[in-house]
Amino acid sequence: MNPVDFFADHTYRMVFFGTSVIGLVAGALGVFAYLRKQSLISDVISHSALPGTLLAFLIAVVVLGVDGRNMLGLIIGAVVVGTVAALGANAIARSTKLRIDTAMAVMLSVCFGLGMLLMRVIANGVFPGKGGIQDYLFGNASVITIVDFVTSLAVGGAAIVVMIVCWKEFALRVFDPQHAIALGFSARLIDALMFSMIVVATVIGLKAVGLVLMVAFVVTPPAAARQWARTLPGMVVLSAVFGAIGSGAGAYLSVSLGSVPTGPLIVLTLFAIFLVSLLFSPRRSLITRSIGRIRARQRLRAQLLAASGGWA
Amino acid sequence: MSFVIGTTMLAVVTAVACALPGAFVVLRRNSMLVDAISHAVLPGIVVGYALTRDIDSPWLILGAAIAGLLVVLGSEWLARTGLLTGDAPQALVFPALFSVGVILVTLEFANVHLDTHAVLVGDLNLAAFEQFEWGGVPIAPRYLLVMLGVLAVNVAFLAAFYPRLKLSTFDPQYARVLGIRSGLLDTAFMFLVSVTVTAAFNAAGAILVIAFMIVPPATALLLSRRLPVMLVLTVVIAVGGAVAGFWAAYWLDAATSAGMAVFYGAIFAAAFATSRVVRRRHARPRPEGSRRTTPLLATGS
């Protein structure tokens, strides 16, 4: 399919720009999860966002009596529960002898179990507009509406603005936590803010990508960008670019190929970008490193031969 | 055997079969690896199905377990390159493999009853439905026998390698000095975890397997200081949570495995609260110098 036809179609356009925005925001904010060495926190967030989303849906329908599929309401529910889960996992790791990985696994699985129970409650009951709620499990990029797109653009944009405003604090907390505390910054406050921005980046993609694959959007672009960039601003910008380009390209491919689902294809595109970075980046990559090793070996051999030649 | 008793037994056996190796997974700080393994089950099953064309073939379990092992070894390899930090290697590998699985399902087997939904969600009640018959008389749920087999293998492995596993878990360097081939042991153990996850996902769903495997040992670890005590507590919590969770779900008309996961979560929360209260009561001011220094980061103040 040629690009003109592609962009003439409203659905395709929404899929392309919708996933690109998700990739851009997740790529930019994912850098902080990556540098905190808690990439998998986004997996915890996406799974715990399920009960959050469903609770928000139930509250909207049963208590407030409004349309439950309002994107902003669902995002708020997901962000609240996702933030509680992310900070809860960190609190468990801090205050008990359990490690962060165990704390994350406990949070993830119990929240998901709660989500499955709520899913059953919604499936058994009579609620108006419960049809699309299943999409949050696997995601469906073709149902991105113009309202969804504008909402994710606004919410994601707000998250990026917060990141820019708190840039100095975030950077300090990531690279020198002790120094940040010594300077009098509240670690808890910065952490809460940082993790809730990571939550926002994870949550805006749930409907289009699904909770299982969202972790790839948050992890893969930073891991690829890290191989090229040496500064934090460089890494954030490059990661955002990788996320946006990978998502757009994956979406375009998925539409062109026809019946291939969008989310998985984007994940594979991002993974390909990562593999190329891991193999070929000029500064740190497998190939550069092995070339450097071979050269060093040759140099050493030359030196040793020269030295032994001198003595002989 | 009545349906309710059969399903309860299936819940209990699945819970114990998962929780026992889970204790070592928690102690080895590999908890999130179970998450990664459980997602790799899908591509493993799809490829297994492509080769055998039989959805009930036991080779599917083997294929899925090998895919799980692929995640473990792949992320270990990525971590060893030294070009990635933290838990990024795991988080990179499993979504890619899962995506391959989803794409294969939609392209090749759209008409077969091989549903990504079923893989992720799973239903204990459905798994217990199919009966093993002896001379036309239903004896027990067929899947109960599978899980009993997995439980037996797990118990046998843990019993046979208990001292070595304990040593390589708590002091891997010393284990290597003693000549224990910890690399081989680790791989064998992870393969066993992989097989257990694969076998259990049918009953629990790929994501709730994590609850079965991690939450009871994590709770037990909060409440104990010695490995044997922890293992006993793990089994007690796994069995108690399975029975209570099953009846809660039965009463609420909800999915059994989800009910069990939430019940485990409640037990964990109770243990967490208790351990904090106990710790606060024990935290008296100590003489200067005897107090262990805690790094600033850990206190997070």
- What is the secondary structure of A112-128 as a DSSP string? HHHHHHHHHHHHHS--T
Confidence band of B299 (pLDDT split at 50, 70, 90) = very low
**For range A204-212, the mean pLDDT:** 85
On the question of pLDDT at A217 being above 50, the answer is yes
Identify which of B31, B91, B297 has the shortest CB distance to residue A219.
B91
Residue with the larger pLDDT of the pair B178 and B297 = B178
Under DSSP, the state recorded for A142 is G
The Cβ of residue A158 has, within 10 Å, a number of other Cβ atoms equal to 13
Gap between the terminal Cα atoms of chain B: 57
Beta bridge partners of B141: B131
Residues from chain B contacting residue A239 (CB–CB below 8 Å):
none
Q: What is the pLDDT of residue B130?
A: 65
Query: Is residue A68 exposed (0-12), middle (13-18) or buried (19+ Cβ within 10 Å)?
Result: buried
- Lowest pLDDT segment from A18-22, A96-100, B177-181: B177-181
Q: What is the pLDDT of residue B124?
A: 65
Residues from chain B contacting residue A43 (CB–CB below 8 Å):
32, 35, 91
Q: What is the pLDDT of residue B118?
A: 57
Confidence band of B24 (pLDDT split at 50, 70, 90) = very high
* Nearest residue of B to residue A134, measured between CA atoms: B117
Q: What is the pLDDT of residue B295?
A: 47
**Rounded Cα–Cα distance for residues B256 and B265 (Å):** 14
Residues from chain A contacting residue B117 (CB–CB below 8 Å):
137-138
A92 touching chain B per CB within 8 A: yes
Of B90, B214, B276, B282, which to mutate for an interface test with A (greatest number of A Cβ within 10 Å)?
B214
pTM score, whole prediction: 0.86
Nearest CA among A171, A248, A211, A194 for reference residue A43: A211
Q: Alpha helices of A166-285 — where are they, by DSSP H?
A: 167-175, 177-182, 187-203, 206-209, 214-226, 232-257, 262-280
Q: What percentage of chain A exceeds 70 in pLDDT?
A: 95
A292 touching chain B per CB within 8 A: no
Q: What is the pLDDT of residue A6?
A: 73
Residue with the larger pLDDT of the pair A98 and B255 = A98
- Per residue in A125-163, pLDDT (tens digit) is 777 766 666 677 777 777 778 888 888 899 999 999 999
Of B83, B111, B251, B276, which to mutate for an interface test with A (greatest number of A Cβ within 10 Å)?
B83
- Whether residues A267 and B106 touch (CB distance < 8 A) is answered with no
CA A218 to chain centre: 2
- Whether residues B276 and A117 touch (CB distance < 8 A) is answered with no
B119-145 in b/e form (b: 16+ CB < 10 A) is bbbbbbbebbeebbeeeeeeebbbbbe
- Whether residues B31 and A259 touch (CB distance < 8 A) is answered with no
Q: Sign of the CA dihedral B280, B281, B286, B292?
A: negative
Of B99, B104, B108, which to mutate for an interface test with A (greatest number of A Cβ within 10 Å)?
B99
**For range B268-284, the mean pLDDT:** 81
Q: Nearest CA to CA, how far is A290 from chain B (Å)?
A: 11
Q: What is the pLDDT of residue B48?
A: 82
Of A138, A172, A212, which to mutate for an interface test with B (greatest number of B Cβ within 10 Å)?
A212
The Cβ of residue A218 has, within 10 Å, a number of other Cβ atoms equal to 32
**Rounded Cα–Cα distance for residues A65 and A128 (Å):** 10
Confidence band of B16 (pLDDT split at 50, 70, 90) = very high
Q: Please provide the average confidence, as pLDDT, over all residues in chain B.
A: 81
From residue A124, alpha-carbon distances to B250, B253, B254 in Å are 14, 9, 9
Confidence band of B181 (pLDDT split at 50, 70, 90) = confident
Identify which of A98, A117, A259 has the shortest CB distance to residue B258.
A117
Q: Nearest CA to CA, how far is B134 from chain A (Å)?
A: 35
Q: Please provide the average confidence, as pLDDT, over all residues in chain A.
A: 87
**For range A223-251, the mean pLDDT:** 93
* Nearest residue of B to residue A186, measured between CA atoms: B301
Residue with the larger pLDDT of the pair B287 and B266 = B266
Q: What is the pLDDT of residue B301?
A: 36
**For range B41-62, the mean pLDDT:** 78
Which 3 state secondary structure label does DSSP give A291? helix
Beta bridge partners of B132: B140
**For range A279-288, the mean pLDDT:** 85
**For range A260-272, the mean pLDDT:** 91
- Whether residues A40 and B99 touch (CB distance < 8 A) is answered with no
Helix axes B208-223, B182-204, angle to 10 degrees: 120
- Lowest pLDDT segment from A39-48, A274-283, B149-158, B179-188: B179-188
**For range B129-154, the mean pLDDT:** 75
- Whether residues B26 and A219 touch (CB distance < 8 A) is answered with no
CA B134 to chain centre: 31
Residues from chain A contacting residue B253 (CB–CB below 8 Å):
120, 124
B137-141 and B131-134: which strand pairing? antiparallel
Confidence band of B176 (pLDDT split at 50, 70, 90) = confident
- Whether residues A102 and B260 touch (CB distance < 8 A) is answered with no
Identify which of A94, A104, A116 has the shortest CB distance to residue B32.
A104
A192 touching chain B per CB within 8 A: no
A173 touching chain B per CB within 8 A: no
User: Is the ipTM reported for this complex over the cut 0.95?
Assistant: no
